[in-house]
A and B are shown apart, each in its own frame.
Chain A
Amino acid sequence: MIRVDEKGFYGKFGGAYIPEMLHPNIDELKENYEQIMASDEFQVEFRSLLKDFVGRPTPLYFASRLSEKYGVKIYLKREDLCHTGAHKVNNTVGQIIMAKKLGKKRIIAETGAGQHGVATATVCALMGMECTVYMGALDIQRQRPNVERMKILGAKVVPATSGSQTLKDATNEAMRQWINNPVDTHYIIGSVVGPHPYPEMVARFQSVISEEIKWQLKEKEGTENPDLVIACVGGGSNAAGAFFHYYNTPEVRLIAAEAAGLGISSGKSAATTALGTPGILHGSKTLLMQTEDGQVVEPHSISAGLDYPGIGPVHAHLFDTGRGEFVAVEDEDAMKAGIELSRLEGIIPAIETAHAIHALTMIEYKKDDIIVINLSGRGDKDLDTYIKWGGY
């Protein structure tokens, strides 16, 4: 069984390795989140916002030309059509309602590419809550349009200037600010990472993705279960959402596409399961890219959303138990897959998502298999990267 235990572990991974100063916050969340999520009041508000604000259910789209090319049936779960352009908003809608129920007045968040930051700024505007987003100083330069989107939405964007000045450092900074403001502030983590109960809570908010895939596939194919589900993994929130209702259905293969960057052995990679060893980052025990001395290694991926040295503990567990199959996709291959999807289906995907498309060429499958690819986000935010790459 793939499920979290009462101490917050998925097998060997997970837990809550946090400074005592964060204990009251984490404890408050842990004691309350399940009950709040299960309440009718929460569910009514959450479901209604997912429908009318986010635009759910998102289509499960049969990609006929892509299917023809690979000789299988490929469905795309269109999370790119969510409001704000990616699956990230499913989680922020859930967490902002959670924050309100917990009586919090301020929201903080970390962001890498800016998608989670925009999704957080969006729900804060919706609910009239004060919002501060921590973002690596380097990412602020790389992702200018998203920085401006957050500002238009009324959020404050604060540069994280320590370390590599990217997602890892933005997360450190958000945690420090939470320590500084423990009483009135809720920290909206953007992926299935961080101390328990965050990985589980975020996965449950994202699980709407596989919940919909099940009934949509039933309508189209007469079965709830595809043969394979493919998703890209940085921290792993879209993958957790797409896999969630299939964790314990062993006949459905779960494929996770990591970012190999310039190549697994190039020293410029973010392929955590290929290169990582067990360690502790941002409050949970997981697989982590680190030196022999236990210092965290700076990752590299062309996609800012996969540029993270760890992975959610549930994915470390899927890897460890063999329940998940992991492939590592190089920058160049991901870019080409992005162009391929654009030309075959008229959809320019986020570069993160393009990694999942390329995974089609790296795995074995049978001729009539049904494959669902989670199309986690759209490529508008990546236009600069596509242009600089130029191979189209």
Chain B
Amino acid sequence: MNRIDQLFEKKKDRVLSIYFTAGFPKLEDTLPIMEAIEEAGADIIEIGVPYSDPIADGPTIQDSNMIALNNGMSLKKLFEQLKDMRKTVSIPVVLMGYLNPIIQYGMENFCKKCQEIGVDGLILPDLPMQQYLDEYKAVFDQFELRNTFLISPQTSEKRIREIDEHSNGFIYMVSAHSITGARSGISDEQIAYFERVKAMQLKNPRLIGFGISDSQTFSTASTYSNGAIIGSAFIKTIKESKDLKVDIKTYISSVIQ
């Protein structure tokens, strides 16, 4: 059984997913960071595949993408680093990345490789639903990869229903109409949106991302969904870290306390 499905079967609440950029802050930090995230008690690891033109990301993640690319990170390198990850990492692993580097690698090869090393799911923010259905769904399914779509406060109810129908794994609820790292705190308007989606009783679990940074925002998000995703705030933590293992433990403990 897919690890994402397993996770949501036994844990319905306060699921914490941590995003970081592969090859950041140092090229060889990828696997040690994953191990530290699991040890600190998070539930899902989202690994960002760096790209030169990340149009849905704010300055913090743009910056980490640039540093990772300058460090020499690429999909080939990432797969090399992760080839034995299942010896030390047991929680679900999701790759998040823009489409272009993946189609240059070859979508089928990419999916095959993901299954081989034990990746459970994909988030490809610039892959629209129609293109996914027309071109890629069959290959995702063949290699048992769960596919997560994003929804935002502007997404219509009709489209949320369609996305729910074609998603598996979980749905990524973008908390506000914004790029990553643009906001902190949660407004009444956002709460109304969370409640509206909660009331729709979707078949997929929902994680809320964008603007989640501490125990308070994590708890609020979890009240209205199955949990949350932290990206920019975690990137800031590891960027300044002198001791990754300790700092990751301290940060994640402070969020899930």
Contacts and interface: CB of A to CB of B under 8 A. Distances in A.
Interface of A: 7, 15-21, 23-25, 162-163, 168, 172, 175-176, 179-183, 277, 279-283, 288, 290, 292-296
Contact of A19 (B74, B104, B125): B125
Contacts, number: 109
B202 interface: no
Given A19-B126, A24-B154, A295 B66 contact: no
A180 B128 contact: no
Nearest to A292: B104
Contacts of A290: 100, 104
Given A16-B128, A17-B126, A18-B126, A172 B55 contact: yes
Contact of B102 (A7, A282, A294): A294
Contacts of B152: 20-21
Nearest to B130: A7
Interface residues of B, number: 43
B58 to A, nearest CB: 7
Interface string B49-62: 00111111111001
26 contacts: A7-B130, A16-B128, A17-B127, A18-B126, A19-B126, A19-B150, A20-B149, A23-B128, A23-B154, A23-B159, A172-B53, A172-B54, A172-B55, A175-B55, A176-B57, A176-B58, A179-B55, A279-B103, A281-B53, A282-B55, A292-B104, A293-B74, A293-B76, A294-B103, A294-B104, A295-B51
Given A163-B66, A176-B179, A294-B101, A19 B52 contact: no
B173 to A, nearest CB: 10
Contacts of A180: 177-179, 182
A172 B179 CA distance: 11
B187 interface: no
Given A168-B53, A280-B126, A294-B105, A17 B131 contact: yes
Given A19-B150, A21-B56, A296-B53, A182 B104 contact: no
A72 B85 CA distance: 68
B155 A24 contact: yes
A294 B52 CA distance: 9
A362 to B, nearest CB: 31
B80 to A, nearest CB: 13
Contact of B104 (A23, A181, A283, A293): A293
Interface string B96-120: 0011111111000000000000000
A162 B177 contact: no
Contacts of A295: 51-52, 69, 101
B156 interface: yes
B151 interface: yes
B150 A20 contact: yes
B18 interface: no
Contacts of A280: 98-100, 103, 126
- Please name the 8 residue pairs, one residue from A and one from B, whose CB atoms are nearest each other, closest first: A294-B104, A294-B101, A20-B150, A293-B74, A24-B154, A19-B56, A295-B52, A296-B52
Contacts of A19: 55-56, 125-126, 150
Contacts of A162: 59, 62, 66
Contacts of B179: 176, 179-180
Nearest to A26: B128
